[in-house]
Structure 1
């Protein structure tokens, strides 16, 4: 993809800065995979055997951001933005979805996540979540993994939609 606006992580940063910038890089990668597409293209389930769409991935990323940073790390109660249905995760059902709303919710969730991360003193600080100790280090690492996995899906979806490939 020729329009790479991502900020590449430092090869010399300390642990916290490295994790944060790698997570932001993964967030920017998802945005890049969606850039330049119409609403209908973003909603397209481009792989016949899958229910995934780029817009579904954006909505899922918003839910995951809220879940890990607001619910787990900050102890907040959050009602899902797109409640589950009998067919599964609600965020993946995008036929009637509002594209602008989805991206706004995702950007807001990312900003909320950044704010929650800044409130935690150390990567090794933990919270008790349902009887399990979870560190900020784990949350950041898990989120990098979550985005990296779904960005792989986004690569395939984007290529099937318009042939665009790239990192």
Structure 2
């Protein structure tokens, strides 16, 4: 990835999101299929679940809201909780492949809009600029959760 430290506004915003996308994908590095599914907290949060949720986040924001497609068209559940449940037969490789594909499509969708483009969210308008900030925060928060889980998993090996 090219450095974006002194780039223009859009490249900086895209760069921050891409850094966090890579942090999410890296959660599954060197984990076994069993470890990726370990539940160490009462919620549905596991390293694999964080990646499947990130797929949902990409699709709900970029594919559904920004591109204007229905949830059914992009294949996402109606509730956030459902997004933390890996699909039947989901593997680390299939989740990472789906995540990378979702991110690539998100980039392509966003490329067709300027930063001032507005989309609807909770009965208000938000800009693509705001969406990039939201995505950075969302992915960073979940990457942090995942870092802690992975640290615990590796300590128990």
TM-score bracket relative to the smaller structure: 0.7 to 0.9
Structure 2 unmatched ranges of 5 or more:
none
Q: Is the 8 A contact 1:73 1:116 kept in 2?
A: yes
TM-score, with length taken from structure 2 = 0.85
More helix by share: 2
Alpha-carbon shift at residue 94 of structure 1 (Å): 3.8
Alpha-carbon shift at residue 101 of structure 1 (Å): 2.7
TM-score, with length taken from structure 1 = 0.81
Misfit runs of 4+, over 6 Å: none
Q: Is the 8 A contact 2:71 2:78 kept in 1?
A: no
Number of residue pairs the alignment of both structures matches: 154
Alpha-carbon shift at residue 11 of structure 1 (Å): 2.1
Corresponding residue to 1:127 among 119, 128, 134: 119
2:113 aligned with 1:157, yes or no? no
Structure 1 unmatched ranges of 5 or more:
1-6
2:47 aligned with 1:61, yes or no? no
Corresponding residue to 1:14 among 2, 8, 15: 8
RMSD: 2.4
In 2, Cα distance between equivalents of 1:128 and 1:94: 28
In 1, Cα distance between equivalents of 2:41 and 2:125: 40
In 2, Cα distance between equivalents of 1:97 and 1:133: 38
Corresponding residue to 1:52 among 45, 63, 66: 45
2:141 aligned with 1:141, yes or no? no
